[in-house]
Structure 1
Amino acid sequence: MPASDDDAPPPVCPSCGISHAPEERFCRDCGMPLIDARLPRDADFVVSDQHERARKIKPQLSEGPLTKVARARHQAEAEWIQGLLLEEGVPSMLRRSAGFDVPDMLAAGPRDIMVPRSGVDVARDVLMQVDVVPSGGGEGSERPIVAPGRLLVGLLSALVLVALVAWIGTELLV
């Protein structure tokens, strides 16, 4: 009969060997990531990058549908934002922003950073601390460079000005 998770030994610190509660991830004394006591502790044991990233994720922040929390200008910036979120335990994924006509294999082009609904508040707090997301936050917080109403008023004003100059020019010639 296989052992259940309740029978599993508590995680231990690979550095100082102190046992910890099952929900803890880091040693209270030295700050090292905890490992399963059943794993070998020899020098040849290597943790993969994926395993290391997965250990940083807080399970309570990984529930719910994906929600957009930020937009990056390119792949490198998006991966930097993902790293910031991961350090706080928030899992994230990247999605190419809609309407950008560049092949997916290129790193150019904007990316949307998506996080689970339960991690949205933590993600926005983290991103506001580094000024990635404006204080208003939210999915509709991105402002266009020029508001459409302002653009229309500017174009109409320019058209009226040109018509006025043309009319004055014809009146002076007559």
Structure 2
Amino acid sequence: MVLLKIASLVLVLSVIDLVKGQNDANNCAVNQLFNGKICTCVPGYFASENEESAKRCEDECEEVYSTYFTYGKCVKEIFDKADQQPACNMRCGLGLYLWASIAIFVVIAAALATLFFTIPLCIASCCSCLQARKANKNTKRVYADSQGGAPGKDQLATMSYNPYAYWPYYGRT
């Protein structure tokens, strides 16, 4: 019986604390959380009017996004309407260095140029290969017809082997 009374008392106190915490949390603005004492910015957001928070934003952005190609910068006023700006209105943004942007552009341009010049070359090579195969079959047929019938295994063995028969420029005489 005593345990039941203690459990119900703990349950009532936790419900009261939960309701009190919700009331305090309702007083916090957008992008803020109630940490038990005061409202603070949620992780990833910083207050622009507070110098300490702005400095912490710059430091965190440099630490998180700093690489050979990118840099981090604190972006202010990320919300559209100026009259409804919340207190926590700064966030880390990612930026590319100028040379990294130029390098990406050059790589994409080189890939497109390679495709532009390689695809017609591949098509021409494939067409010439198909024509060489057709010419080789035609040559075998004409040879067989000139020998008086279909070629046997002996006749094909005496035919000279042309290693360049499928190449478009070397196989022709």
Give me the TM-score of the superposition, normalised by structure 1: 0.30
Larger radius of gyration, structure 1 or 2? 2
Higher helix share: 2
Give me the TM-score of the superposition, normalised by structure 2: 0.30
Structure with higher RCO (Cα < 8 A, 6+ apart): 1
